[in-house]
Chain A
Amino acid sequence: MTAILTLTARQLAGSRRVWLVLALVALPVLAGVLFHVADSTTSSAEFADGITGTLIASGILPLVMLLFGTSAFGNELSDRTLGYLTLKPLSRWRIAAPKLVASVLVGGVPVAVSGLLAVAVIENGRVGGAAATGAGLLIGAAAYAAIFTWAGLALRHALIFGLVYVFIWEAALAAYLDGIRFLSIRQFTLALIRGLDGERLDTLDLSLGAGAGAIGAAIVIVVFTALTVRKLVRVDVP
């Protein structure tokens, strides 16, 4: 499994989009620095919550994971190298799992570190809140990776699917309609962060508890990884 993990991580990290991602993940940290040098009446907790909930969880995290998740198989489908993996005596989950992990390593870890540093800078080094933010974002990244890795393998227009999910379903619908929040990875992520550190995100309107967030994220990871494995068994490899 390490061979596919290393291969995929090299594929993803070697692409030009990694520079875009580095620029994106630098934004929250820069915002944290700006908070201290610019005059503001906003409290540090309120600003950290806004950066976490709006900039990172609603924008940077899903976008970065969309880029890397859909590319985990998408690159090999488009350049027709997937056969090098599928024509091997490997259970299909041993192909799908390292792809998922590679997406999290290359996309999720930088976002989680960015969130951790941004909160640490804004809240003057409060370790608990920063660590909770990093851990919550990492779990959210895994959930996004699972759904977008599946989409990259199973859907012809995976990027469009991802953009619709992120900007219409999560940002426009699930953000305001309580009844469908249990179907939003953004909500799971924020619920987890607050569950890990009770002082974080209390200025945001979150209706899901930490337990629901953890269960929701786990279900997304398990279900979409299983769908990816199933698709790998049935797919006509180009």
Chain B
Amino acid sequence: MSNDGAQPTIVVDSVSRWFAGVVAVSDVSLVVEPGVTALLGPNGAGKTTLLRAIAGLTATSQGTVRIFGEPVRGNPGLYRRIGYMTEHESVYDFLTGRQFVELNARLQGIGDLDAAVARAVETVELVDAQDRKLRTYSRGMRQRMRLAATLVHDPPLLLLDEPLSGTDPVQRLHLQQVIRRLAAEGRTIVVSSHILEEVDQLADRIHLMVSGKLAASGDYRAIRQQLNDRPFLVRIDSSNARELAAGLLLEKTVESVEIDREGHLRVRSGDVAALQRSLPAVAARLGIRLLRVEPLDDSLESVFEYLATGSAA
């Protein structure tokens, strides 16, 4: 299942892609090996464009993509070894789930069609629903049947664009298990997501994209640690902001405090978990009532921005 080990599965070399003056991907270079690799970034970061360039669906404006050592664009024979699940949920909804997977199997030129289709449908656990029209499926079921169609030809490389979108927690857990199992069999799997927690238990390596550029690469733990280490800004409403500010300044986890014009306390901390523990204790000791505690820079964009630039928003 794995490639021959002589070369990485995917080599992206200085790839840029722009549309009418708008840069979607800017000078991205990366290498993908067997296992699960996540392409992470906020919406509009260029993940889908990069995945589409890797799959050969779109041409690069600059740079090259090689899969198993071969250029992918204009090389349809390579699709025997690639399964690509697009971000769009559209399917031929007049087909049943089984017919849809079978169509993909036929177009792949698979010999033992019935066995391949049965195996793929079983993998996503949709045997009972396989004879229903796709238009009757829930969003999550459709995602799973699309995954079945993507892996029906047993490809060593899977490119999955937001595969967990639209799934409920149970379906998400199941899909994560399926993806992990497929990777354990030696496949190379690239998963895109805009949700860090989504790839938490899934990816061995993460490539972080922000504004079309590759902002960071590494394993999940390293990026998670960077995330935990970033300064965190919290707004606190209390019955006595000045006294609480003085009390918090004595805590090691607090980097700075300030009181804004409306009298809200703003606390900057490098250790969110420690602040969460110490704040109630300090307030209780000083007899101050906490009215509201709100993170000010916890948006996804803020997190990605921090990881990309190393400075808090």
Contacts and interface: CB of A to CB of B under 8 A. Distances in A.
Q: Note whether A and B form a binding pair.
A: yes
B285 to A, nearest CB: 59
Among the interface residues B79, B82, B90, B91, which one has the most CB atoms of the partner chain A within 10 A? B90
B103 A83 contact: no
B84 interface: yes
Interface string B279-313: 00000000000000000000000000000000000
B58 A84 contact: no
A233 B74 contact: yes
Contact of B58 (A10, A85, A237): A237
B246 interface: no
B146 to A, nearest CB: 9
A39 interface: no
A88 B79 CA distance: 5
Contact of A80 (B58, B59, B88): B88
A83 B94 CA distance: 17
Contacts of B92: 7, 11, 81, 84
A236 interface: yes
B308 to A, nearest CB: 27
Nearest to A84: B104
Interface stretch (B106-114, B116-124, B216-224): B106-114
Interface size for chain A: under 10, 10 to 19, 20 to 34, or 35 or more residues? 20 to 34
Given A90-B76, A92-B76, A236-B59, A83 B84 contact: yes
Given A81-B92, A233-B74, A89 B57 contact: no
B184 interface: no
B94 A14 contact: yes
A4 interface: yes
Contacts, number: 59
A91 B76 contact: yes
Interface string B70-96: 000010111110101010101110100
Contacts of A89: 76-80, 108-109
A83 B107 contact: no
B227 to A, nearest CB: 34
Nearest to B87: A80
Among the interface residues A7, A85, A88, A92, which one has the most CB atoms of the partner chain B within 10 A? A88
Contacts of B79: 87-89
B55 interface: yes
Interface string A69-83: 000000000011101
Among the interface residues B57, B76, B77, B92, which one has the most CB atoms of the partner chain A within 10 A? B76
Interface of B: 52, 55, 57-59, 74, 76-80, 82, 84, 86, 88, 90-92, 94, 103-104, 106-109, 149
Interface of A: 3-4, 7, 10-11, 14, 79-81, 83-92, 233-234, 236-238
Given A7-B103, A11-B92, A236-B52, 9 more contacts: A7-B92, A83-B86, A84-B104, A88-B79, A89-B77, A89-B79, A90-B76, A92-B76, A237-B58
